[in-house]
Amino acid sequence: MKKLFILLSTLGLAASINAEEMEVVGNVASKCVVIPDTAGIYGNPTADVLSTDPSDGGVDPVVRFDVIQASMYKAKISYPIEFSESPTLNDIVNWTGSVGTSQVSDTSMSGYDAAKIEFDNVTEFSLTVAGSTWFKTESQADYGYGKAFPGGVYRAVVSAECIAI
């Protein structure tokens, strides 16, 4: 028997006699990842306006949402309605803005803009397709009635939320 085993080992058959099937198990859990993609910059096309619009010299901030499974999350994105940092302002700032898709990883996401829900400065999108969606946020701040913004640093925050449904 021992001689037989040595012979089989030499021929490389012993291992195949003892081989067992092995199972590989995986689990794909739902997940949402929020990824700031492009930092926004305010352009100052006229003295009383700060705008992220590229035609005004600004850059629209872009946030990417990745979802692994469809219809598990909604995206809730808010354009700013106040500065998080600015010089002292003694007049009202009027804010306008909008949020929309700028790029999608799946063509069936093209309906997101038509189905979006807007209220106040908030826009909600149901993430009904698995994959990546890039959302662009435009915002504009108008100071007083044609008043010039005082010199200094202006900073605002876009809020990007991914909420399980």
Q: Give me the least distance between CB of 139 and other proteins, in Å please.
A: 7
Q: If phi over 0 gives left and psi between -120 and 50 gives alpha, with beta otherwise, what is residue 57?
A: left
Residue at 129: amino acid letter? V
Q: Which is nearer to other proteins, 111 or 131 (CB)?
A: 131
Which residues on adjacent β-strands are paired with residue 87?
none
Report which residue type is found at 49. V
Q: State the nearest-atom distance from the C-beta of 110 to other proteins, in Å.
A: 18
Nearer to other proteins among residue 115 and residue 155 (C-beta): 155
Name which of 123, 159, 155, 124 is nearest 141 in CA terms.
155
* Cα separation, 7 vs 125, whole angstroms: 68
What is the nearest approach in angstroms of other proteins to the Cβ of residue 58?
A: 9
Residues near other proteins (CB under 8 A): 29-37, 39-42, 44, 50, 52, 61, 63-64, 66, 72-73, 80, 84-85, 105, 132, 137, 139, 153-165
Of residues 112 and 162, the one with the C-beta less far from other proteins: 162
Q: How far is the CB of 31 from other proteins (least distance, A)?
A: 5
Residue 135 Cβ vs other proteins, minimum distance, rounded to whole Å: 10
Contacts of 18 (CB under 8 A, 6+ apart): none
Per-position DSSP letters for 72-118, written without gaps between them = SEEEEEE--SSEEE-S---S-EEEEEEEEEEEESSGGGGGHHHH-EE
Q: Which is nearer to other proteins, 116 or 162 (CB)?
A: 162
Comparing CB distances to other proteins, the nearer of 67 and 116 is: 67
